[in-house]
Chain A
Amino acid sequence: MRIDRRVSELKFEQQVTRLLAQDQLLKKRGILVLKIEYPVVEAIFLPTAPLKLVQVVAAMPVGKVPPGVELPANLPKKAKVKLEFQQPLPFFTSRPFGVRIGMDDFDQRAPSALFCDPVTWEPLETLHVGSEVDTKGSISRVTIDRHPTFKRPFLCMRGIREYHEHPQHTGDDWMQYRNDFGLFSTLDTIWRTCVNNAKPLVLVMNHSALSSVQAGWAAVGAK
């Protein structure tokens, strides 16, 4: 322990109160908090975005697009346009997952996030792609297969213990941020990166000689 247990418990209670104050938002996002017992909070994330089937039916220069197809204004003449057929399949979605948040030593250490099977609560060996998107639309992958210290897959995001205690992030110390992150922000970060920015899609390309089918994840854009 790096911090007196009584102090840590008080801080935990404060964080739990803040979390529960946002109960409606958590439900709306499909985040079910199952267990709150110092120093652990367990939650299940239920993705609800339907699998999107995307079929690229043609790729052509702007000038050859058939009449009646609306295009954004001012496209360069040399631009290529892809015509897609999109079909959401509402009965198929991503797999739910559980996360065990460790708040031991909070706020001398950041909250840890252990991704688990939502039924057995065994730690997951692999994570699906989680992404963060900036206002320019740049996408960064933030789920990493193996942590050199913790020896498991992890979420590589500021505010998460596995990020701050990674040997490559010793210059971005948790103590700079400990007033700005907590339990709610941890669940918010996980939802944003691993649910909202990880919407399942299947891409079918058969407009050229090389046909292919790819399964992947779509991130939401900036407004």
Chain B
Amino acid sequence: MKEKNHISIVFVINGVATAVEANINEPLKAARNKALGQSNNTGRPMDEWQVHTEDGALLDADKKIEALGLEDGVRLLLSLTVGAGGC
């Protein structure tokens, strides 16, 4: 039984799904960090992990879950920040 104001979020990290319960009044990064810890993905600083929806939209992890409009059971993808370009 979920606590009031809590939803379930499934984070997919390099193809592996990890489900966590999250308080909708907390920033998304709290749930992200919980999922990273739970799945032992602790080799990099947690703020280096970006959160995307399945449709590819990049979410601001500093925003509250409620403000992002995330619903119970949503699946989100984590990927390390880009380090892109510069060649």
Asked if residues B58 and A222 are in contact (CB atoms below 8 Å), the reply is yes
A24 CB to closest chain B CB, in angstroms?
9
Count residues of A near B (Cβ-Cβ below 8 Å).
45
* 24 A-B residue pairings within 8 Å (CB atoms): A18-B14, A21-B16, A22-B12, A25-B54, A25-B75, A132-B82, A132-B85, A134-B81, A134-B82, A135-B50, A135-B60, A142-B85, A156-B87, A158-B82, A159-B80, A182-B14, A184-B12, A184-B14, A185-B79, A192-B56, A222-B60, A223-B58, A223-B59, A223-B68
Main secondary structure of the interface of B (DSSP, over half): loop
Count residues of B near A (Cβ-Cβ below 8 Å).
31
The residue in chain B whose Cβ has the minimal distance to the Cβ of A25 is B54
Chain B 24-49: CB-based contact to A (< 8 A → 1; otherwise 0): 00000000000000000101100000
Chain B 51-87: CB-based contact to A (< 8 A → 1; otherwise 0): 0111111111100000010000001010111111111
Q: Check if A28 is an interface residue, CB within 8 A of chain B.
A: yes
Complex Cα–Cα for A223 and B56 (A): 10
Complex Cα–Cα for A158 and B82 (A): 6
Contacts of A172 in B (CB 8 A): 83
Among A175-197, those with CB < 8 Å from B are 176-177, 179-185, 188-189, 191-193, 196-197
Asked if residues B41 and A158 are in contact (CB atoms below 8 Å), the reply is no
Contacts of B68 in A (CB 8 A): 223
Asked if residues B84 and A140 are in contact (CB atoms below 8 Å), the reply is yes
Instruction: Take A18-B16, A157-B82 as given contacts and tell me if A28 and B54 are in contact as well, using a CB distance cutoff of 8 Å.
Output: yes
Instruction: Take A21-B17, A182-B14, A188-B79 as given contacts and tell me if A223 and B60 are in contact as well, using a CB distance cutoff of 8 Å.
Output: yes
The residue in chain B whose Cβ has the minimal distance to the Cβ of A137 is B58
Q: Check if A166 is an interface residue, CB within 8 A of chain B.
A: yes
Among A18-39, those with CB < 8 Å from B are 18-19, 21-22, 25, 28-29
Asked if residues A196 and B14 are in contact (CB atoms below 8 Å), the reply is no
Instruction: Take A21-B17, A180-B41, A220-B56 as given contacts and tell me if A188 and B77 are in contact as well, using a CB distance cutoff of 8 Å.
Output: yes
Contacts of A168 in B (CB 8 A): 86-87
Binding site for B on A (CB under 8 A): 15, 18-19, 21-22, 25, 28-29, 132-135, 140-142, 144, 156-159, 163, 166, 168-169, 172, 176-177, 179-185, 188-189, 191-193, 196-197, 220-223
